[in-house]
Amino acid sequence: MPSHPQRVVVLTNEATDMVLALGITPVGAVKSWEGDPYYDYLADAMAEVPVVGDEMQPNLEKIVALQPDLILGSQVRQGQIYDSLQAIAPTVFSETIGESWEENLRLYGQALNRDAEAKQLLVDWQARVAQLRQRFTERNIQISLVRFLSGGARIYLKDSFPGQIVEEVGLQRPPSQASGGFAQDVSFEQIPQMDADAMFYFTYTGENTSQAEGNRSNPWLSHPLWQQLGVVERGKTYAVSDVVWTTAGGIQAAHLLLDDLERYLDP
């Protein structure tokens, strides 16, 4: 393992977010799930960084050509090709991504010899969370988290990336969403389970459709049961970025999520 890696290749979107936060620009990265080729909030910092495939299928030839001295990936994404990656350069894998983002930031900090920077990022995060918790806890707000995908919908639960963060800042969940777990697929008939004091919903549209276009054609938003939700009648539903709330998963995205909470929930 190099003591001060200079040529880092990252194989998850989460790692891209956090390597940049640690002050390092990778020499190669996988394409973002949405974006051209990277998420909008990372686009400027990643403007000159070549793409090495995607999370599910990294391009080994392109990785070799970049002559990395460190590769960062995840067991849940690239576990089957770990040996091939390790043959190219020292490889560090997180066990999973998303819900374990704080642990993964520490891992990346260690691998990059940026332990102090990782620690400071988490100290700053906890300070901001504590301020929001003080403001939100006494208000006892119940928050619903809903994601729309092609042909379906999910309620995001406490163990998801957004679920962990809203709980961390002292926001409550309605009884139908208070269980552990990552997410629950729901049918139209289960729309009443989405009700709460406020709802944040996000839409995965893929690469060729904007989120605004996806929302305009979303059959869930015009369904009679949706229109009857108390949170809809009160005008407390907020369309937010699917990238920030689900697919990105790093500390920069986490701060952008807090920005949304402050924007919509602060009186």
Class of domain 8-114: alpha beta
- CATH annotation of 136-265: 3.40.50.1980
Q: Are 35 and 243 in contact (CB under 8 A)?
A: yes
Query: What are the pLDDT digits (tens) for 62-101?
Result: 999 999 999 999 999 999 999 999 999 999 999 988 778 9
Q: Kindly list the distances between the CA atom of residue 37 and the CA atoms of 52, 71, 86, 122, 226, in Å, as whole numbers in the listed order.
A: 11, 20, 26, 28, 34
Q: Where are the domains of the chain?
A: 8-114, 136-265
pLDDT of residue 16: 98
Could you give the CA distance from residue 190 to residue 114 in angstroms, rounded to a whole number?
Answer: 46
pLDDT of residue 28: 99
Over range 143-155, report the average pLDDT: 94
Position 218 pLDDT exceeds 70: yes
Topology match between the domains 8-114 and 136-265: yes
Q: Percent of the chain, pLDDT > 70?
A: 95
The pair of structure tokens assigned to 178 is: 């208070």
Cis ω for the linkage preceding 37 (within 30 of 0):
yes
Secondary structure of 76-144 as H, E, C letters: HHHHHHHHHHHHHCCEEEECCCCCCHHHHHHHHHHHCCCHHHHHHHHHHHHHHHHHHHHHHHCCCCEEE
Position 213 pLDDT exceeds 90: no
